[in-house]
Structure 1
Amino acid sequence: MNRLLHSALPVVLASLLCTTALWPAQAAAPAGAGAVKDIGQVSIDHHVFTLPNGLTVVVHSNHSVPNVFVGVWYRVGSKDEPEGKTGFAHLFEHLMFQETINRKSEYFLPLDKAGGSDMNGITDVDQTRYYQTVPSNALDLALWMESDRMANLGRSITQAGLDAQRAVVQNEKRQDELGQQDPTAQIHRNSYFPLGHPYRHTTIGSMDDLNKASLDDVKAWFAQYYGASNAVLVMAGDVDLATAKQKAAHYFADVPAGTPASHMQRWLPDFPQIKRDYVQGTGAAGGLRRSWPVSGEDPRELARLQLAAGTLAGSPDTLLWDLLVDKLHLASSVSANLSNNLLVSTFSIAMTLRPGVTPEQVGPILDRSLADYFAKGPRDAQRIQAIVVGTENNLLRSLQSNAAVGAMLAQGQLYDGDPAGALAQLDWVRTATPEDLRKVASKWLDRPYYEMVIQPALPNAPAPGVVDRSAPPTPGPFTGTVRFPAIVETRLSNGMKLVVAERHGLPLIDASVQFATGTDGEDGYGEGVATQAINLLALGTTQRDASAVSREIARIGFYMNTSIGERNMGLNWSTTSNRVDDSFALAADLLRHPAYPQSEIDRRRANVNIDAAYDAYERNPIESAAQLYAAAVWGPNHRNGRMTTRARAHADFARQNDRAAIARFHDREMGPANATLYVMGDISVAEVTAAAERHFGNWRANTPTALPDPAQDAPPVRSGPRVILIDAPGAPQSSVMAGHLVPALDQDAAATEALMNAALGGSFHSRLNMNLREHKGWTYGFGAGISDAVRGPRVFTASGTVETDKTAAALVEIRKEIRDYVGTRPITPQELERDRGAAIQAIPASFTTSGAVLGAMISARAMGLPYNRAEGAMQRLAAVDLQTVRARARDTYKPEQMTWLVVGDLHRIEADIRALGLGPVEVWDVYGKPLR
């Protein structure tokens, strides 16, 4: 059972395109030679039908050879593996060859006896396929075997079988890794595909995930993906249509349909700019590989891109080979290829450089060559014709094999819904013109890409051993410090505050305009209006529409984002120091003259489906935990505890998309009277002041509304515990949140509080996490912390998810840990020093960028503290003593007054939780309505 690291091409013609193998056929025709006669239309006789259980059947009749290719293609591959289950698709491929309740032998034995051949299974990123070619008289046997495992393997897998095949797969992995010392493939996957992309991990998976695969896991995989409705059965060879229909119905009609599997349609990696990795290779020569993501939505484009690849590289008469290999002698080989997959296709150009040649020599030449191709297209029409002729020959030769035809039909049906899709692709290639290739290449390749620069291998001889490896070295004394630059505060002529800190070195500037308002200032406008007012700035101004704003952002390298909190909001940007005036001009235009165009608001509004969002919310009650917890702790009448229902969401959505309300909020609440412009970087105070005065100095003064006093919005006072349960039927885990309100932040005690919380729940080594994760193994992670708030009360919360059947026991452990922490087992000197050292040594690294320093300045000022407050953080942490932490913990944590909120399968957990006696128990729905 072979494994492919890269999938077979969904566009089947790509495997037939003759781009490198038929060089002799590419020679120019001799002078006076007559035109080559066209081979005419190529066809593949086939029929498609579907059984009532959803199984798609494709039949091709060819009686020239007395055998039949029988294959089953399943729409499941490694892309369908969730995190923690990598390798499942391939592992299950191996399990499909094990015994079933009806067949007490391995899969191959009966077919071997019947004269079967080419029996195998293959898993790639998009599909898993099983096939065999059998004599015509063994067709019933092959169909029985395939239908038997499709119907019954889920009930047949045993722990012994799983363990045996797991060992086989792991040995396969070890063998592959032993023979593949080149690290570039995995590095390419990790860099090319973003985090979470289904193609980012290998098909064979990780050892850890394979070890964790349980019997229930693999049975669930079978139930989810191996139903008849998720498969294509193909019979190609010595069988007529009527017989095929009768036999397919006979053997497969009783196979369960299964649940139709849902699949992601597209996910293209996004490269706003060129991304480049330098990798140590394993060969004596270096190399270069460029990769561009391509959408597979238009199969005509894919066929033409593959044809374009054949004109660019791969053989001596192609553009890049001729230039880089034959003329300039910079590379020993150059190839171009389009690899096609369901979620994203990838066009790649790769070359191996000659010894002594550097990628820096080759890169500009490749750039110029591609630019020329984008402008003029391929220059050699004969090359195109040679590829077409070779492709036709390959296709015709493949039609001699029932196995090749069967595979082609199955691939076409699975990927394109057209078994004969390869023939349409052949027609597209035949009719493609140089202009067609120029256009498709320009469309997909004239854009940023990912490039891997492969460095020659280092010498193998190891240096003499001088390292003592008997024990890890002890770190030397920590000497890190934090020093903020000098900070100057002034005002512009209109009263707008300006804060500047010079930080010379790299020619970079970080800037922010912060307004002393936020969601607390929305009274009279509508909830969400402040968020829209700051987030929609880039939709256009009175001088620039959205496209013009976008072009200017790109032109000057203006990297912007917005932020909003309860009592502050802002526009933040960064640029280079030579673009300061341009960046100030754009920021001022966005902030002073936003158009909030109704058409753009309507367009965004049309993309939001509130009902769909709430349908999903109701289907997955776990998502309600945070909002319900806030309502429970703060009370439903407090702004922090306000529940949002479906009806309320519709009303709020209408208000927050009211252009008039957004504009009113902007005009009154966002202006120089309550704004501060912060600038840090490689620029002088004088230069910043001059630019700020030019672009912001004549901004009309505003009269912002005073923000409400948090003390006037006091939360309810609770004196006892409370338990709230929300039902999530069938949930495999329970979401647990437990805590209570704590007093407003005292900045003088902030360092003490940070170390107090770190030992209880604020770090990996905290008591809660070590107990529930490391010692009990009930959770992936469990922590605790106290919320940030500029003013007013805050919330202490211990939270995480735990296994459903361990929910009640976890609540006991949580309460025990908090009780012990404020009682008989307070923080120890060892815990304090561990967390103190970690916190202190992490501080300098957190201020390596100007943006981080600027952020600390803004946060400090929002809390009424000096701009350089963070400079003394290390000293404040060092000054904290053990007894102060213990006293603070006793004053802060109230284990007997906690509100407990648990979302889980109440059928399994409610009785046990009630029996704990944590406090009065209530059951709510997902909107906070008491049910009992």
Structure 2
Amino acid sequence: MLKHYKLAVCVLTLLTWQTQVQAQKIPLKPKLVEKVVRKGNELVIPYEKYLLPNGLTVVVHEDHSDPIVQVDVTYHVGSAREEVGKSGFAHFFEHMMFQGSDNVADEEHFKIVSEAGGTLNGSTNRDRTNYFETLPSNQLETALWLEADRMGFLMDAVTQKKFEIQRATVKNERGQNYDNRPYGLVFEKNTAALYPYGHPYSWTTIGYLRDLNRGNVQDLKNFFLRWYGPNNATLTVGGDVTPAQVVKLAEKYFGPIKRGVEVKNMKLPAPVLTQDKYISYEDNVRFPLLQMTFPTVPNFHPDEVPLDLLAEILGQGKNSILYKNLVKSQKAVQAGSQHPCTELAGEFSISVLPFPGQTLAEMEKTIRESLVEFEKTGVSEDALTRFKVSYEANEIDQLSSVDGKTSILANYQVFTGNPNFLPNDLKRYKAVTREDVMRVYAKYIKGKHAVILSVVPKGKSADVAHADNFTVDSSGYVPPKDQYAGLKYIKATDTFDRKKRPGSGANPVIKVPPFWNDKAGNGIKVIGTKNDEVPTVSMLFSIKGGHKLEAKNPGKAGIASLTAAMLNESSKKYTSEQLSSELDKLGSSINFSAGPDQMTVSMQSLTKNLDATLVLLEERMLYPRFDSTDFDRLKKQTLESIANQSTQASVVAANVYNKMLYGNDNILSIPVIGTTSSVSAITLDDVKNFYRSNFSPSVTNLVIVGDIEQNTIMPKLGFLSKWEAKPVEMPATPKVATIEKTKIFLVNKDKAAQSEIRIGYIALPFDATGEFYRVNIMNYILGGAFNSRINLNLREDKGYTYGAGSYFSGSESAGPYTAYAGVRSDVTDSSVVEFMKEIKRFEETGITDQELAFVKSAMGQSDARKYETAFQKAAFLNNIIRYNLDLSFVSQQSAILQGITKDQVNALSSKYLTVDKMSIVVVGDKATIKPGLEKLGYEIVELDPDGNPVKM
């Protein structure tokens, strides 16, 4: 696969437009810098760019296709601006930016945006930090008021208490995403060896715990004063707005904020390796990992694109050399290569997860042999075509949402000074040649040194590819000059009352996408809608049954999943590699998958290539080859994946939780992928029989969304008449397990830094306008929003977790109510207490008037965001056809939401939050957490990772 647009990109080596403009006289009023319009069908995002007197760049994209607006503020600061001993500050500060400012109270930012029907977040990487909201377009002024307030009025609101809570939250995030995740430290170990000590890429964005522990409030304030000035920021607004409207509001809210300290672009020399650096560490993993990383070039360097193509030829997709030599030959579970580039440097990485019985030393040898093979085979015409067409298709796909377009404009502006750099990028990728690829291979890879990292299972240190020969050396490091000395906070002065929250105006009119119904061959129900914002067509086949059909023979559970995997392989006419190549050359994709109650076939194509893609879809759906070699490889991979689940606490928690909810006699208590014993029992004939018996148009619905009319697409589906229809009998839904009294089910995961918690019971089936819809209204304030009671308690008030919540899920049969979190190991028992306290309190006292008003506003206005993208439209239509919904169900839901009373909500909480009959699953370090859990008064049942009782 090609790289998607990267959120951290490299500046040009020459002075950028931004630095040039800083040397000029800044206007007293916003200045229109440029206006870009689309001509014909060219791939361009229209916009206007302005410069405010304080240095803030404003980019506006006008798009009235949906009544929503995306507001993005990107600061040109990431972890690369940090110093040794103060890692993680850029990311830490991202958290602090949500903790209130002078005119916005603590926890109010999330509440205000959610109440307005919007969604929001922030992210930090090596080179930039951004904050973004997507809201109904009548909330534009509110979003700008919020962003401006924390840009200009944050300092006095930063307190020691907030600092400590967010420090705990960041530690939880590190525990969840790094320390407690298999292979979670690969990036940290690799960068420390690849870059010289003190290089800002030699640590990760999350930072080191020791640095987080030693930081203080003043350090954080200094970081804000140094990097968060308007002259180091870009405000990008896209959607149902006008440039004049945005600029006027930007001038009002951002204009008074004083210019910050000058920020210069960074440029550092590429790291030079004088030898292969072998490093290793032990981890709680099943498969060892070998990763080989070569230093390359920053983004936008002339050699970036040919290195991207080299990465694809070597290790991306079924036509790559590494796939052939390692995956296809059943030596490795996974093998691939990638070439991520950021502002200061690039990294060409090759990674392999070998099957048991293969050594890391053998993997290194095969990688080196594969590089020699590439030298001989070079770059084919097909490889060039696949690369270029796939890149264009990926770029087009990103333009399907205002979020995607706004993000592209923001990042091009921040790192190149030119929001309209997309055409330049397209030219770069279209112009790459075979000679370019061979040249960069010789320059950066052939005979060059690399960092070679081995990750081995605990206690298997002898299994590394080569003995370690490198340790970090700080002896030559010279600290930089203090860049935080003498910083002063100068608060803006206003001519208006900034404490007054802006009004929102009338809610935008929400239009449910118009759709059509039809029938294809053999009675397949079809529902579709035209979406001409981007020239693509998406199709989704839903074939009832899936995992649930395995109830007829649970001894072979996993057969639906394995059948879907086989359908992604060869057809009678084409090998899997040939199909993959043809799809890539069209910029198309076809994928089969299996879920709890259905199999799905998804297809996406550029409109111009639809006919050719449908030919390949027919091949895959109707004429699978079911090759024995493919089956043996996929079965082996599946069995290894099942065995690997025991290393992933979140997966263990989900599997054990389902087993406790549904009971041993229900197929849903078994993972969709199956178990070791059930998958071992599956034969190729079983897969063929499952396909023949259950893959049928008689139980199939089809959703079509794209740039095509009904009368154009339907004749193209004639091939579906060849699909043999057969009766598919759905097994009866068995009764689910019942629990008479709440219990804790404890699964041990030795020395886990965090515990995974799941709490719940089987509640009720999906119903668009019945009690299922109403309980989701009820749950929104308990666990469904960021500022829900559960998340505010466990994350924001206690600092126990990176995130916690609860939800009701349902299908045709009953689904569970689930409360969930990953928490610090040392507060596992306290977290269970807080969960149960919040659920019980809501059961007993219910919702407040203020909370109910918030829920009605938040859920009601969120409709503006429901139908924007092709994916959202497809999900909406899929529910209509799957559940045979009345066409008026959307208006019925709106009436239910606005009419529901406090008493009705409280009656639902009393009925469905039965805290005395819930299963509590905890996966964590037994030695640490069991003593505390024993004090809670619940019966504790110890289970193994498969959910079976542990013999005491």
- Normalised by the length of structure 2, the TM-score is 0.52
User: Does structure 1 residue 640 correspond to structure 2 residue 668?
Assistant: yes
Distance 1:834 1:355 in 2: 40
Change (3 A) 1:340 1:907: closer
Matches within 5 A, 1:870-885: 870=890, 872-885=892-905
Structure 1 residue 539 and structure 2 residue 569: aligned? yes
Matched ranges for 1:464-479 at <5 A = 469-479=498-508
Once residues 723 and 505 of structure 1 are traced to their aligned partners in structure 2, the CA distance between those partners, rounded to angstroms, is 51
Q: Which residue, 791, 800, 824 being the options, matches 2:821?
A: 800
Q: Within 1, Cα distance between the matches of 2:707 and 2:419?
A: 37
**Contact kept? 1:761, 1:782, Cα under 8 Å:** yes
Question: Letter of the aligned partner of 2:676 in structure 1?
Answer: H
Q: Hey, what's the Cα distance between the residues in 1 that align with 2:744 and 2:677?
A: 31
Aligned residue number for residue 764 of structure 1:
786
Deviation at 1:707, TM superposition (A): 0.5
The correspondence for 2:557, drawn from 510, 519, 527, is 527
My pick for the range that moved more, 861-870 or 751-760, is 861-870
Q: Distance in 2 between matches of 1:718 and 1:413?
A: 53
How far does residue 626 in structure 1 lie from its aligned partner after superposition?
Answer: 2.0
Aligned pairs for 1:394-405 within 5 A: none
1:858 aligns to what? 878
Match runs of 1:327-338 below 5 Å: none
Specify whether residues 737 and 678 from structure 1 end up closer, same or farther in structure 2 by C-alpha distance, changes over 3 A only.
closer
**In the alignment, which residue of structure 1 is the partner of 2:626?**
596
Q: Which residue of 1 aligns with 2:710?
A: 685
Equivalent in 699, 703, 728 of residue 726 of structure 2: 703
CA distance in 1, matches of 2:823, 2:661: 21
Give the aligned residue type for 2:510. Answer: T
Structure-2 residue corresponding to 1:117: none
Please list every run of 5 or more consecutive structure 2 residues that lacks an aligned counterpart in the other structure: 1-7, 11-83, 95-125, 127-189, 199-207, 235-276, 315-342, 352-411, 444-465, 472-491
Matches within 5 A, 1:496-645: 496-504=524-532, 506-522=534-550, 523-524=552-553, 526-607=556-637, 610=640, 614=643, 617-618=645-646, 623-642=651-670
Alignment map for 1:213-224 (pairs within 5 Å): none
Query: Helix, strand or coil for the counterpart of 2:193?
Result: coil
1:120-199 superposed matches below 5 A: 125-126=192-193
Query: What is the CA-CA distance between 1:754 and the residue it aligns to?
Result: 1.2
8 Å Cα contact 2:87-2:212 kept in structure 1 = no
Structure 1 residues 369, 582: CA separation in 2 closer, same or farther (over 3 Å shift)?
Answer: closer
Q: Distance in 1 between matches of 2:309 and 2:716?
A: 48
| CA distances 1:17-72 after superposition (whole Å, capped 9, x unpaired) | xxxxxxxxxxxxxxxxxxxxxxxxxxxxxxxxxxxxxxxxxxxxxxxxxxxxxxxx
CA separation in 1, counterparts of 2:419 and 2:520?
57
What is the CA-CA distance between 1:483 and the residue it aligns to? 1.7
Task: Give SS of 1:536's match.
Answer: helix
SS at match of 1:855: helix
Q: Give the number of the structure with larger relative contact order, counting CA–CA contacts within 8 Å between residues 6 or more apart.
A: 2
Is the Cα–Cα contact under 8 Å of residues 636 and 643 in structure 1 kept in the other structure? no
Relative to 1, partners in 2 of residues 1:895 and 1:168: Cα closer, same or farther, differing over 3 Å?
A: closer
1:692-771 equivalences in 2 (<5 Å): 692-693=717-718, 695-700=719-724, 702-710=725-733, 713-747=734-768, 748-771=770-793
State the 1:338 CA deviation: 11
Partner amino acid, structure 2, of 1:654: S
User: Match for residue 512 of structure 2?
Assistant: 483
Paired residue for 1:922?
Answer: 941
Pairing partner for 2:849 from 829, 832, 852: 829
Equivalent residue of 1:843, what SS?
helix
- 1:562-591 CA-to-partner distances (Å, cap 9, x unmatched) read 343333222111223333332332222211
**Distance in 2 separating the partners of 1:364 and 1:719:** 62
Q: How does 1:87-486 map to 2 (within 5 A)?
A: 125-126=192-193, 265-266=291-292, 291-292=304-305, 294=307, 343=349, 371=433, 374=436, 469-486=498-515
| 3-state secondary structure, aligned to 1:847 | coil
Secondary structure of the residue aligned to 1:630 is helix
Q: Is the 8 A contact 1:856 1:867 kept in 2?
A: no
Distance 2:748 2:278 in 1: 36
SS in 2 for 1:571: strand
Aligned to 2:795: 773
Q: CA deviation at 1:471?
A: 3.7
Aligned to 2:463: none
- C-alpha deviation, 1:340, in angstroms: 6.9
**Secondary structure in 1 matching 2:690:** helix
Q: In the superposition, relative to structure 1, how do residues 479 and 876 fare at CA in structure 2: closer, same or farther (>3 Å)?
A: farther
2:182 corresponding residue in structure 1: none
CA distance 1:491–1:866, shift in 2 (3 Å):
farther
Asked if the contact 1:731/1:904 (under 8 Å) is kept, the reply is yes
> Which residue is 2:688 aligned to?
663
Alignment of 1:886 with 2:899, yes or no, is no
What per-residue deviation string (whole Å, max 9, x for no partner) do you get for residues 521-569 of structure 1? 2335932222232333231211222232123212333233334333322
Instruction: Please state whether the residue corresponding to 1:796 is helix, strand or coil.
Output: strand
Q: Deviations over 1:862-921 (max 9, x none)?
A: 223246744654343223222211111111111122222223333333333333223x33
Amino acid of the structure 1 residue aligned with 2:666: H
Amino acid at match of 1:714: K
Count residues with an aligned counterpart: 588
The 3 A distance-change label for structure 1 pair 127 and 514 is: closer
Q: CA deviation at 1:166?
A: 7.9
The answer to whether the 8 Å contact 1:78/1:124 transfers is: no
Give me the whole-angstrom Cα distance separating, in 2, the residues matched to 1:731 and 1:771: 23
| Counterparts of 1:182 and 1:680, CA distance in 2 | 40
Q: Distance in 1 between matches of 2:816 and 2:278?
A: 52
The one-letter amino acid of 1:929's match is P
Q: Partners of 1:357 and 1:623 in 2: how far apart? A: 41
Question: 2:875, 2:294 → 1: CA distance?
Answer: 33
- Are 2:841 and 1:820 aligned? yes
Quote how far apart the aligned CAs of 1:592 are: 0.8
- SS of the equivalent of 1:562 reads strand
SS at match of 2:703: strand
Partner SS, residue 844 of structure 1? helix
How many Å apart are 1:756 and its aligned residue? 0.6
Per the alignment, do residues 590 and 871 of structure 1 end up closer, same or farther by CA in structure 2, a change over 3 Å counting?
A: farther
CA distance in 2, matches of 1:291, 1:356: 19
Q: Are the equivalent residues in 1 in contact too, given 2:540–2:601 (CA < 8 A)? A: yes
Aligned with residue 900 of structure 1, among 908, 920, 932: 920
> Helix, strand or coil: the match of 2:739?
coil
Task: State how far apart, in whole Å, the 1-side matches of 2:418 and 2:838 are.
Answer: 63
Q: 8 Å contact 1:621–1:726 — kept in the other structure?
A: no
**1:783 maps to what in 2?**
805
Separation of aligned partners in 1, 2:193 and 2:592:
38
Cα gap change, 1:413/1:563 in structure 2, threshold over 3 Å: closer, same or farther?
closer
Instruction: State the AA in 1 paired with 2:751.
Output: G
Larger radius of gyration: 1
Distance in 2 between residues matched to 1:856 and 1:629, nearest whole Å: 29
Whole-Å Cα distance in 1 between the matches of residues 233 and 418 of structure 2?
Answer: 22
- Equivalent AA in structure 2 for residue 895 of structure 1: V
C-alpha separation between the residues in 1 aligned to 2:212 and 2:890? Answer: 55
Matched-pair contact (CA < 8 Å) for 1:735–1:800: yes
Q: Judging changes above 3 Å, is the alpha-carbon distance between structure 1 residues 716 and 364 closer, same or farther for their aligned structure 2 residues?
A: closer
Contact 1:727 1:904 in 2 (8 A): yes
Match of 1:841 among 856, 861, 866: 861
Any idea what SS the aligned residue of 2:686 has? Answer: helix
Kept in 1, the 8 Å contact 2:548–2:668? The answer is no
| Aligned-partner residue type, residue 570 of structure 2 | G
- Native 8 Å contact 1:483 1:871 kept in 2: no
Q: 2:933 aligns with which of 890, 893, 913?
A: 913
Q: What residue in structure 1 maps to residue 139 of structure 2? A: none
